[in-house]
Structure 1
Amino acid sequence: MPGFPIFASRRVRQTPFTERVESAPLSGYTVYNHMLLPATFSSLEDDYAHLKKYVQIWDVAAERQVEIKGPDAHKLATMMSARDLRKAVPGKCYYAPLTDANGGMLNDPIALCLAADRFWFSIADSDVLYWALGLAEGLGLNVEISEPDVSPLAIQGPLADQLMTAVFGAEVSQLKFFNFGYFDWRGHSLLIARSGWSKQGGFEIYLHDTAFGLQLWDDIWQAGEPFSVRAGCPNLIERIEGGLLSFGNDMTRSDTPLECGLDKYCSLDSDVEFIGKSALLKQRDSGVTRSLAGLKIDDEPLRPVANTTPCRSGDTPCGYITSAVFSPDFDSNLAIAMLSHEISRDGQTIEAYLDGQWRQAVCTTLPF
């Protein structure tokens, strides 16, 4: 897919790290939450190979925070999240799908409980801020809704622990997955979580002040030189291999969490009430008719897809591909597809229309 320049503005914002990102061999941006998000550096394949062997520093400031604070913060957070957050405690992260009244996916953020009356939703690419504002206003809730000056910087890869220990001390390596703590850096207390959008392991540093962005990047970069650190970004090949779903690509408001395999993050059997629960209960009772699955596709390496492409079983349409790419490690084309439920089982052979031709594809569960 050809690339074109993206120009920053008040609508497409730069990040605290943009200057350093653009001094690296950046080759492509995308736009995420009205902000610049690096998409490739050296190349998709080279970035992927490096990520799986060393460590990278990712500017993911576009993962904006929606802060809910005040006496009714807990009530609103619980109402918005399909996952029961009533027992959420400070220091924990929670994957929390957000749904509309029909059960359609609105976002799939990470919820961070900072205090009993203060939550952050670290969001994927949609305007959750306005959803929260509308709910708070319409229901007359006593809360403050804002997008704070918080910009995540991710450290991802097999050597992430060594690099983070070099910068923040040995204690940071003791963090358990989806836990966060506060660590000193140049006299500032930084919230750091063991999390990130890769399967290679790592951390996300929630920088609380734009003014310190370049200094934080430089300190990590310098400490990372012995570990062959590079600037990187979420990688399409690695995330498809790992079955990491992309909101806006693999799931949209037209899809429900049950169709996306996110049942375990929906508290349908508890007495918690959240927006979309009744619709999801109805769908569960009647049975899902389609679901996300993986596809292995032989033949020549594919170009990454930019739009959905159709699938068929015999002459019958059976769904569509949402993401696809060639994986060097699997030596195969891999795809994520929304398919008819009866088709999506392991070993089922179908056809997918890619690069102008029908190709044979074999269904598999995710991750690959």
Structure 2
Amino acid sequence: MARVFGDAVRDIRFFRFGHFDFQGRDMVIARSGYSKQGGFEIYVAGGDIGMPLWHALMEAGRDLDVRAGCPNGIERVEGGLLSYGNDMTAENTPHEAGLGRFCNTATAIGCIGRDALLRVAKEGPIKQVRAIAIDSKSLPRCDRPWALMAGTTRVGQVTSAAQSPDFGCGVGIGMVRMTHWDAGTPLHVVTQDGSHPAVVNDKFWI
């Protein structure tokens, strides 16, 4: 990226963006991506510049063995990067999604649901996203919510999961009731291939 856009691209902070020139065209570049590796996203306005940009990046990275790749879904779960529409939806508050620290609800004048959000900010949510470690050797694709159980009582759901080769267990993102979200709480998760022991992790893995 620095070879194509200059060293200033290194100064973009995570989840921030900047404007950079490429062949006389203004490019918006964000320091983001579907993992915690600190990747970049380039917003290309106009299909005509797409291939010149591709070739420039491939050529600049030739000695670095740069190749086309894809998002790492396992690393997304390990890092606790939420997927909107899956791990949280419009039905969830920012506090339930663990994003309350980014919201100044008190100054959100005119915000729909402000009173309810102020109450949640004061009292705390009754459920929240947590890292779920799953005792498994392999997991099916998490293409539906998996019930998260404490005995015979459903206490939440896992909405993203994968078998992690780096950590030797299943890793999951779950929405868990406050009664069972403390780190170390033993649970079990019900997948389409059967039930697996699980535990609430103290934090996400990376």
- Same fold, TM-score > 0.5, yes or no: yes
**Is the 1:302–1:355 contact (alpha carbons within 8 Å) kept by the matching residues of 2?**
no
Gaps of 5+ in 1: 1-163
2:153 to 316, 331, 338: 316
Residues 230 and 366 of structure 1, relative CA distance in 2, 3 Å threshold: farther
- Distance in 2 separating the partners of 1:310 and 1:235: 24
Question: 1:302 and 2:139 equivalent?
Answer: yes
**Is the 1:168–1:183 contact (alpha carbons within 8 Å) kept by the matching residues of 2?**
yes
- Distance in 2 separating the partners of 1:339 and 1:210: 44
Deviations 1:259-289 (A, max 9, x none): 1111012212336442332221133345421
- Distance in 2 separating the partners of 1:202 and 1:255: 28
**Is the 2:181–2:200 contact (alpha carbons within 8 Å) kept by the matching residues of 1?**
yes
- Distance in 2 separating the partners of 1:338 and 1:316: 15
Residue 201 (structure 1) shift: 0.7
DSSP-derived class of the 1:213 partner: helix
Aligned to 2:90: 253
- What letter corresponds to residue 204 of structure 1 in structure 2? E
- What letter corresponds to residue 361 of structure 1 in structure 2? A
**Is the 1:242–1:366 contact (alpha carbons within 8 Å) kept by the matching residues of 2?**
no
Aligned to 1:211: 48
TM-score norm. by structure 1 comes to: 0.53
Aligned to 1:187: 24
Say which is worse superposed, 221-230 or 333-342, in terms of deviation: 221-230
Question: 1:279 and 2:116 equivalent?
Answer: yes
- Distance in 1 separating the partners of 2:193 and 2:13: 46
- Distance in 2 separating the partners of 1:176 and 1:286: 32
Count of aligned pairs = 205
- Distance in 1 separating the partners of 2:13 and 2:174: 32
DSSP-derived class of the 1:205 partner: strand
Residue 332 (structure 1) shift: 0.8
- What letter corresponds to residue 199 of structure 1 in structure 2? K
Residues 248 and 214 of structure 1, relative CA distance in 2, 3 Å threshold: same
Counterparts of residues 149-228 of structure 1 (less than 5 Å): 164-228=1-65
Residues 177 and 339 of structure 1, relative CA distance in 2, 3 Å threshold: closer
TM-score norm. by structure 2 comes to: 0.91
Residues 179 and 297 of structure 1, relative CA distance in 2, 3 Å threshold: closer
- Please, what is the CA RMSD of the aligned residues? 1.8
Residue 360 (structure 1) shift: 0.7
Percent identity over the alignment is 40
Aligned to 2:164: 327
- Distance in 1 separating the partners of 2:191 and 2:168: 17
Residues 271 and 167 of structure 1, relative CA distance in 2, 3 Å threshold: closer
Deviations 1:159-214 (A, max 9, x none): xxxxx111112222233334433222112122222222320012221212222112
- Distance in 1 separating the partners of 2:108 and 2:193: 50
- Distance in 2 separating the partners of 1:178 and 1:260: 17
- Distance in 1 separating the partners of 2:69 and 2:167: 22
- Distance in 2 separating the partners of 1:177 and 1:286: 30
